[in-house]
Structures are given as C-alpha cells and as structure tokens.
Chain A
C-alpha cells in the first residue's frame, strides 16, 4: 500500500525532470521575474517569463529544491510557451485542483507531463512543493497585468 503510493509519487518522469530540468537557466530578455521560496524547506524558484501582448513567448527558471518542486517547474515551463495568460491561469487552476484531489482533471491532456505529479496529492505535506512553481506563475501574471 505505502509502496504503491511511493511509486505513484516518484515516477520515472518526475525523476527525469528533476535530474534533467527543462528550461533551466537565465532568460536575458525576460519581462517579468518572480522569486518564490519556501523558507521551511529551502525550495527556491526564480521564474522568468517573456510576455508580449498577453502571450507567454518564453519561460525559464533558476533555483533548487526537492524533486517535486523542481520537476513541477520544469514541466510547467514546458507547457507555458505560446500560451495566452488566460490559458496559463486555467492551467494553474487545473493543476491546483489536481493537487487537491480532483481525479477528473488529472486526466486532462492540457496538463501534459504535469499529470505525473498527481501522486503528490496523497502526500499533504508535499503539495506545497508542487505548487511553488504555480504560485510564481500566478504572481508573474498578476504583476504583468498590473504593470
């Protein structure tokens, strides 16, 4: 039972994104940068986006942390390129719902590789690790709209 949960938590796809994070590095022509950290555990993400006319052109990230936080931001940035801000918000909403146990949304293809993180929802103390990237995304959207 517990082993099953562990296997669902630590899928190969997650470990692959942890070891080979996609879109990692600085984005020189970013239009917005959000630093999010979890002071309790030291997970840290600097999300950098280039947003033009309501569309995310490029997304990169810098930081460090556990496999869940780093896989989450790697998978998320993969999906952001070429999306409208409203679509990115929708993605964040769906991912948050999945973290809170919504099993229907966990089958939604829009979530791409992020579906591999569904198992995190069974580990309440780790949900915040998975959500850190999306907290940064939502803050970045808010800041862009306000500027």
Chain B
C-alpha cells in the first residue's frame, strides 16, 4: 500500500452540510459566513465528540482510579498525541494545552521570557502582529527593561525582509512573527526569518493562529522554537489551543501558573514540578476542548490540507477578481494571491467599514469591520479601520457573489 493516500474529491457542498450553523437564514437571507479569521463554524464531528465526552466520559483527568477518570485521561492524552503528530512534534509532551493562541504567547513571555530576557535585551516583532503577539512582550519588556524592535512592512503589507539582518543584534533574545497576517492575509516567509534569527542566537515564536486553518504546518520543517495556535479558527471549540516548543526548551522553562496537576511534591515552602507537559498545565484542564481540538484536526485532515489549499486559493483569486471589478474598492495587502491566504481587507469609497458591515449583515453576509486587533497594521495603512472578508474551507463562489452583491447595495446607499 502506498503511504500517499489519495483524498476523495473535495465536495464543498457535502462539506457544508456537516456545519449546522451554515444552514440558517440571517435577516431573512441565507447566511454567507465570511468572518472565519475571527472564528470558524464547527462541524458535527467536533460537536458530537464534545457532547459525547460530557454525556459519557466526563471525569477529572489523571490520578483518578475509577473507570470514567481513566477514560477522560486517555481521551485527553490521546488528543494531545493527535495534535503533536499533526504538527510534526517529536513527542506528545512537546504540546502544552492552553486556552488558545493568546494564552500560549503569554505563557512563553511569562515563563521563558522572565527567565531569559534581561535588561538591555531586545525582542524583535513585526508591525503585522496581532495585539496578542505584541502586548505580552510589552509587559515583559517593561518589567525587565528590555527593548522592543519592529520589522516594518512595505506598501503591499509584506515584511521588509531586507531590514532583517540589521535589526537582529547579539542582544536579540526572541523574534515573534505571525505565520499569516490576520488583518491582511499576508503569508510570511517564516523559514527564512527563523534561519536568520537562529543564526544570531535568537529564539523564534511563530503565531500560527491564521495558518492552521489553511495549510499543513510542520514545526520540524519550519525550524522555529515556539509555535502557537487556537483550535476555534480551524473548526474546533473555543477556549482550547496549544503551545508547541522543543522538549529541551520546555524542560528548562519555569512553570507558568501554579496549582494542582503541575506539581510533583508540595512542601510548606516550596514544591517540585511535574514533568512536561503537565508542568505547564495547572488546574483542571479544558478536557472537552482538547477532545474537540483533536476531532477538528481529524476533520481538517479528512478534508485534506492540499484540497483545502487548492479550493481556498481558487476562491481567493475569484474574490479578488470580482472585488477589483467594483468601482471605488481598495484592496489592502499583497497583490499576488500566492502571497496571501484566507483574508481580504478592503475599503469602499467613503463608506465607513462599520456601515459596510451593517449593510452586509442586513443582506445575510457576515464580515468584520474594525482594526482587527492589529492597530500597528492600521497605522501603517493610515486608516482607523478596514472591512475584512475571511474564508474557510467551506466557503463557495456563491458566498463571494453574495459579498459582491452586498457591496453593490452599499454603493447604492452611499452613492459611490
């Protein structure tokens, strides 16, 4: 048997039927859900395992002697192994469950950062980052007297890689970079950045929140030190995500939160820590979330990342073509669709993004308007807000047509 299993043909209509939330009317129109960069909808397969866990297997994990605790523990740890395998981790203990991307970054900043970043050290970020990959580092830098530096973007919202060498110094302790921009959809050359940073002795954290819904990620191939993501943007439940880091880094890191589960022995004035991954998982974890996250991985791999990528690339190209044909539409981010994934940020005449969003909502089209938690990106564009349509594997050309029709309604009202 060949290990290259051919995926069955990608049938987007069949796929859509697996998502109950997609099959509804909003404001009297069928829902066209194009706010996937904020969160994706959930398939039956994920909803079912979460419900099944609570109905039949619910118990606290680890240390329990009874059957339900055994089942819950197995489900929780199997889910970790599933995610580790999917990400290309060397072993399951390299995956730390968190509430999501934000908590994973805060974990690295509070643990690794507090230990490894000192006065005068530098943290290099990019102006493309989501606030969740900026503010934790600001908090750390303020506490430690470290300096934040930024790799800037060009006019098309691509990182100015030519500046990278100059920005990296012997004091650079960490480079934080997003794999794919949530605000612009720019796909970053992460591997190039990782190689340049590590050659200078810096660690690299990659924010994968917008990457895992769209493409196969292999942390070994990327070569980064930390990779973080949320499950809810890739068809999984909210409140669950993970930090991946190489074993030797995690073993050196101090605990994040203290409490049950993360200890080995507790004395009156000190304690010893559990081994990884549990050292970083204080308290009762989000067991149902972990089980749902593994089901989401199964779902995405079942659809096939190659299929997803091809489908979404076609869809993005179609959307860009249709939107560029409208008068007064300004599209931000890379011109070349190959440098873009998942999202289209745009403006329309003098209609404010919130007005566009309200009008599209009345047409049953869900998009997002605002700064997208990326105020440095907005400042770069000289704007306070953009309108963003973002795509998932279940979107169709019909969704794009609905968006474009809705934009014509906006033009009718705003007279542009």
User: What 9 A-B pairs are tightest by C-beta distance, nearest first?
Assistant: A66-B352, A66-B354, A42-B384, A2-B362, A10-B413, A42-B385, A2-B27, A67-B355, A66-B355
B239 beta carbon closer than 8 Å to chain A: no
B358 beta carbon closer than 8 Å to chain A: yes
Shortest Cβ distance from B124 into chain A, in angstroms? Answer: 27
B170 beta carbon closer than 8 Å to chain A: no
Q: Which of chain B's residues have a CB closer than 8 A to the CB of A65?
A: 352, 354, 384
Contact flag A64-B355 (CB < 8 Å), given A1-B28, A6-B362, A42-B370: no
A44 beta carbon closer than 8 Å to chain B: yes
A68-B353 Cα distance, complex, nearest whole Å: 12
Partner of A19, one of B28, B350, B378: B350
Chain B residue, CB-CB nearest to A125? B358
Interface residues in A, total, Cβ within 8 A = 23
Q: Which of chain B's residues have a CB closer than 8 A to the CB of A3?
A: 362
Which DSSP category, helix, strand, loop or mixed, fits chain B's interface?
Answer: mixed
A141 beta carbon closer than 8 Å to chain B: no
B134 beta carbon closer than 8 Å to chain A: no
Q: Which of chain A's residues have a CB closer than 8 A to the CB of B358?
A: 9, 123, 125-126
Q: Is the CB of A2 within 8 A of B28?
A: yes
Shortest Cβ distance from B71 into chain A, in angstroms? Answer: 42
Q: Is the CB of A44 within 8 A of B384?
A: yes
B: interface residue count bin: 20 to 34
Contact flag A6-B354 (CB < 8 Å), given A40-B370, A41-B385, A44-B384: no
B residues 345-402 near A (Cβ < 8 Å) are 350-355, 358-359, 362-363, 369-371, 378, 384-385
Shortest Cβ distance from B260 into chain A, in angstroms? Answer: 36
A93-B405 Cα distance, complex, nearest whole Å: 39
List, sorted by A's number, 26 A–B pairs whose CB atoms are closer than 8 Å: A2-B29, A2-B362, A6-B359, A6-B362, A6-B413, A10-B355, A10-B359, A10-B413, A10-B414, A15-B413, A15-B414, A15-B415, A19-B350, A40-B370, A41-B385, A42-B371, A43-B354, A44-B384, A65-B384, A66-B352, A67-B351, A68-B354, A68-B355, A123-B358, A125-B358, A129-B354
